[in-house]
Amino acid sequence: MLVVVAAVIGGRAAASGGAVAVAAQLGAVALLRPAMRAAQPVFMARWLGGMGVRALALGLVLAFAATHRAALGPLPASLGFLGVLLPLLYLETRFLR
């Protein structure tokens, strides 16, 4: 639903960025979920890995948008990514309980 809202507001570029954000969030949660009850060093390593997945995804969106400006605008793509990822990060705390 967040990707649809991003698409309505920012167009195809924002929808693409939002879709990448959803994929990054799913990957980060899949990485963290098995370590929810693990020792703190293991949990923190998995959490940091999830943040790395999200940062890498943002970097890929920005790199693609910078090299293919005709296909994907950098500003709408990055705002779509962040506009979808930030609510998902907030909801992650409720989902992982």
DSSP state of 11: -
User: Hey, is 7 helix, strand or coil?
Assistant: helix
Under 8 Å between Cβ of 38 and 54:
no
User: Hey, is 97 helix, strand or coil?
Assistant: coil
Listed in sequence order, the residues at least 6 apart from 58 whose beta carbon sits closer than 8 Å to its beta carbon are 24, 78, 81, 82, 85
* DSSP letters for 16-43: HHHHHHHHHHHHHHHHHGGGTTS-HHHH
Q: Where are the domains of the chain?
A: 2-95
Residue 56 and residue 82: Cα distance in Å, rounded? 13
The pLDDT of residue 18 is above 80: yes
As given in the structure block, the two tokens for residue 9 are 């507001």
Residue 81 pLDDT: 94
pLDDT digit string, tens, across residues 24-65? 999 999 998 888 888 999 999 999 999 999 999 999 999 999
